[in-house]
Structure 1
Amino acid sequence: MSTTRHELLTAFDLLLAPERFKDYGPNGLQVEGRTTIRKIVSGVTASRALIEAAIHADADAIFVHHGLFWRGQDGRVTGWMRQRLGLLLGDDVNLFAYHLPLDAHPELGNNAQLGLQLGLVAHAGSAGRFGEQEIGFLGAPEDGATFTSGKKLAAHVERVLKRPVTLIEGQRPIKNVAWCTGGAQGYFEAAIAAGADAFITGEISEPQAHYARETGVSFLACGHHATERYGAPAVAAHVAAQLGLAHEFIDIDNPA
C-alpha cells in the first residue's frame, strides 16, 4: 500500500501537534522528496549514516527526532550539510523531523517510551508533568516499589539501556522519579521543585553534580542517544500501521 507525502505529513502533525510547542528548529517536513510513500525508516538523528542506510532499505521517507535545521545555525550548504542534503535530494527521499513534540507525546513520545522501558509510570494529570512546556515526566515504578538508593536505580537503568550511567547519588530513598530524555540536564532544578527523589536524563553539565549533592536528589546521566531511541520508532510504526505503510527502525550507534 502507499500514501502521499501530504497525507503522511498530516498524520504526523495530527498526532504530534507541533503548533503547541516553541522549539529550536522546524518540525514537520524538512526536506521534500517523492510524492508517493510506501516505506518509512525511523531513526534518532538525520546523520549521513542513517540517510545512507535508509536509501539502502528503499525508504521513501525518513522520520527522526534530530533533523537537519536548528535555530541560529549557519545557513550555508557546505561540508556535512551538503553531503546529507545531496543524498536526500539525489534519491528523492523525504525527511520528517519532530523535536519537542516527539519528546512530549503522552504515549508514543521519547519520555513516555523511556518510562515504559524502565517500568516507570507518570502520575495522573498535571502532577505527572514538570518543566518548561511540561516536557518532563514525574512518576514512580509501576509495581509501587521504592529504589533504596541511587545506585540501585542506576543499576536498573544500566541493565535496560545496556550502557554505563553517570550517577551523582543523593541521600533520599527513591519514591518519585523524574525523567526527561536527551540534553535535559537544565530541567534538574524543576524536577527537584516538583518533588523528585531522582532525575533521569541523557547528559550532565557542571552545575548538576552540586545540586544533587546539596539537595540529596540523585542525578543520572544515561546517554543522549540511549534515552531517545524509543520515541521515533513508536510514532513511525503507529503512523505506518494507520496508513498501511512499511516501517523499519535503524539505530545508528552513538556513544553520546
Structure 2
Amino acid sequence: MIERQQLLDTFDTLLQPERFKDYCPNGLQVEGKQEIRKIVSGVTASLALIEAAVNEGADALFVHHGLFWRGYDGRVTGWLRHRLGLLLQHNINLFAYHLPLDAHPEWGNNAQLGLKLGFAVQECFGEQQLGCLGEASPSIMAGPKALAEHIQLVLGRSVTLVDGKSGPMRRVAWCTGGAQGYFEPAIAAGADVFVTGEISEPQAHLARECGVSFIACGHHASERYGAPALAAHVAYGLGLEHVFIDIDNPA
C-alpha cells in the first residue's frame, strides 16, 4: 500500500509531463482514495473500462486517453457525467498521460510497439521528437506487403497499406495513434515506410508520389502496449497489484 501522492510523483518522474506541449492535462485527472493497493491500466477511460476497474476493486486507473481535452465545453453531462460519476462513486483515482506516454523511450507506446514489431529505434524525429526511426530484420522488410502481413499477424487485425514503392526497404518510421501528420517528417527523415494508427486522405497521395509506403494499423491497436508496460513497471517497483484490461476498439 502507498499513498496517492507517491504514485503521482512516481508517474511524473518517469514520464516528465512538463517537457510536453499537450492538449490535455497529464497526471492526476480525478482524485480518489488516499491509499492505493491496486492499479488497473487500459488505453482509454471509457465507461466500459471504468466499470471493469470497479469490478477489479481498483484504487487507481492508469490510461493513455483520459477524460478532459482541449476544446471540450466543460459541462459535466451525458457520457462525461456517467464516467466521472462512476469514478467518484467508487473513489477511484484516474491518472492519464497522453504525449508523455507516447514518448517514453522504454515503457512508452512507440517504444513498446517497436519492441512488439521488431523495430530497433535509432533516432527520433518530428514535432516534440515523438516519431521513431530505425531498422528491422530483412525478412519483414522484404517489401511493403511483407511488412503489412507481419504487422497484421503480430497485432491480430487487418491493416491499411498504401504501397509507395515495391521492393526491399531499409528504414522504418513509426508513431502510434493518430500520427498521420508525421508522414511528411518521416519522408524527410529518410524513411522507406511509415507505420501509424490512422490514415487520412492526403497520405495515400503522398505515399504514391514520394515512393514511401504508409501502413495504418489502428489507433487503439497501436497504443495498447504502453499503458500496461509502464503501469506494471511502477506497480512492481512499489509493491502494488496491477491488472491490464483491454477494451476492444475497432478504430
TM-score normalised per structure 1: 0.96
C-alpha contact (below 8 Å) 1:145/1:175 kept by paired residues: no
Any residues of structure 2 matched to 1:62-77 within 5 Å, and which? 62-77=61-76
Q: Tell me the amino acid that sits aligned with residue 167 of structure 1.
A: L
2:234 equivalent to 1:211 = no
The residue number in structure 2 matching 1:239 is 234
| Corresponding residue of 1:112 | 111
Which residue does the alignment assign to 1:168? 162
Instruction: Give the number of aligned pairs.
Output: 250
The one-letter code of the counterpart of 2:250 is: P
1:151 aligns with 2:151: no
Aligned to 2:178: 183
Contact 1:41 1:62 in 2 (8 A): yes
d(CA) in 1 for partners of 2:18, 2:142: 41
What amino acid sits opposite 1:190 in the alignment? P
In 2, Cα distance between equivalents of 1:30 and 1:40: 15
- Is the partner of 2:5 in helix, strand or coil? helix
The residue aligned with 1:53 is: 52
Equivalent residues of 1:146, 1:174 under 8 A apart: no
CA offset digits 1:177-226 (Å, max 9, x no partner): 00000000000000000000000000000000000000110000000000
Residue 36 in structure 1 maps to residue 56 in structure 2: no
> What letter is aligned with 1:131?
G
**Deviations 1:10-63 (Å, cap 9, x if unpaired)?**
000000000000001000000000000000000000000000000100000000
For the pair 1:15 / 2:9, whether they are aligned, the reply is no
Q: 1:86 aligns to what? A: 85
RMSD: 0.8
Deviation at 1:148, TM superposition (A): 2.3
Q: Does the aligned pair in 2 maintain the 1:146–1:175 contact within 8 Å? A: no
Task: Tell me the distance in 2 between the aligned counterparts of 1:146 and 1:93.
Answer: 43
| Contact 1:150–1:169 (8 Å) recurs in 2 | yes
Q: Whole-Å Cα distance in 1 between the matches of residues 126 and 41 of structure 2? A: 27
Gaps of 5+ in 2: none
Q: Which residue type is aligned with residue 227 of structure 1?
A: S
Paired-residue identity, %: 71
In the alignment, residue 217 of structure 2 is paired with which amino acid? C
SS of 2:132 mapped into structure 1: strand
Separation in 1 of the partners of 2:169 and 2:196? 16
Q: Which residue of 2 aligns with 1:199?
A: 194
Paired residues of 2:44 and 2:63 also in contact (CA < 8 A): yes
**TM-score, structure 2 as length reference:** 0.98
Query: 8 Å contact 1:31–1:96 — kept in the other structure?
Result: yes
SS at match of 2:195: strand
Deviations 1:130-170 (CA, angstroms, capped at 9, x unpaired): 110000100011x4556221111100000000000000001
The whole-number CA distance in structure 1 between the counterparts of 2:219 and 2:169 is 23
In the other structure, the counterpart of 1:121 is 120
Q: Does 1:26 align with 2:25?
A: yes
Deviation at 1:74, TM superposition (A): 1.5
Where 2:80 maps in the other structure, the secondary structure is helix
Q: Distance in 2 between matches of 1:63 and 1:209?
A: 35
Question: In structure 2, how many angstroms separate the alpha carbons of the residues matched to 1:231 and 1:144?
Answer: 26
Letter in 2 for 1:79: G
